[in-house]
Structures are given as C-alpha cells and as structure tokens.
C-alpha cells in the first residue's frame, strides 16, 4: 500500500480546520480527516519569529489525489502560504487500510 499518504495543514481556527476537513471528505479527496488542537506553532515568517495558536487538520488519502487535495486546501485556507505536508503511510492495520482505501469501500473516494 505504498500509494497512501497522510496530509496535514495548520490553520488559525477550529472552525476553519473543520471546514477544510468537511470539504475534503465531501469532494471525495480524503478517506478520513481529524482535527486536533489547539497547538502552539513557532516559526519564521517574513524575517521574524512568530508564535501562533493553531489547529491541525490531518487527512488520509492516496498519492494520486495529492494535487487536487492541495489545490482544495489552498482555495479554502486563509493563509498566504499554508503548510501542506504529505507523509507516506508505509504500514498500518490491514483491516483499517482496506476499509478506508479500497475503491469498493464505503469511503467513496475518487477512483
């Protein structure tokens, strides 16, 4: 199952994170989404160190859906340069992965 990825973005509000999660599921770009937070992010931005309270939105999807998923996040995200990072899912519970990513499953992701 090397074509499976976890994509994560951070956003400045819980509602915004839920809006992104909902839209990605509705557009069939992700099999599952989780929102967690608040978290504290510290980062460089325009030459200064910034600290912000953010929420993480993590979604499980297939590698072939990354480009449209990234575009959807950019459309929905208020940040000028949102963090959108994909990590390969190299292993997992076979039952869960088959349930979530099998084209015939109830997740109804794009084929």
User: Is residue 110 within 8 Å of 29, Cβ to Cβ?
Assistant: yes
The reported pTM is 0.88
Is the pLDDT assigned to residue 94 strictly greater than 90? no
- What CATH number should be reported for the domain whose range is 4-101? 3.30.70.120
pLDDT one-digit tens code per residue, 1-24: 468 999 999 999 999 999 999 999
The band of 106, judged by pLDDT with boundaries at 50, 70 and 90, is low
Long-range contact pairs involving 103-108 (C-beta distance under 8 Å, separation at least 24): 107/31, 107/32, 108/28
pLDDT one-digit tens code per residue, 34-92: 999 999 999 999 999 999 999 999 999 999 999 999 999 999 999 999 999 999 999 88
């Amino acid at each position: 199952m090397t074509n499976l990825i976890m994509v994560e973005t951070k956003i400045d509000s819980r509602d915004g994170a839920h809006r992104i999660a909902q839209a990605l599921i509705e557009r069939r770009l992700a099999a599952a989404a989780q929102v967690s937070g608040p978290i504290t992010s510290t980062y460089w931005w325009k030459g200064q160190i910034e600290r912000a309270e953010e929420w993480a939105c993590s979604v499980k999807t297939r590698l072939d859906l990354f480009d449209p998923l990234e575009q959807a996040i950019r459309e929905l995200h208020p940040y000028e340069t949102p963090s959108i990072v994909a990590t390969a899912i190299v292993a997992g519970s076979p039952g869960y992965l088959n349930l979530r990513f099998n084209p015939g499953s109830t997740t109804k992701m794009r084929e």
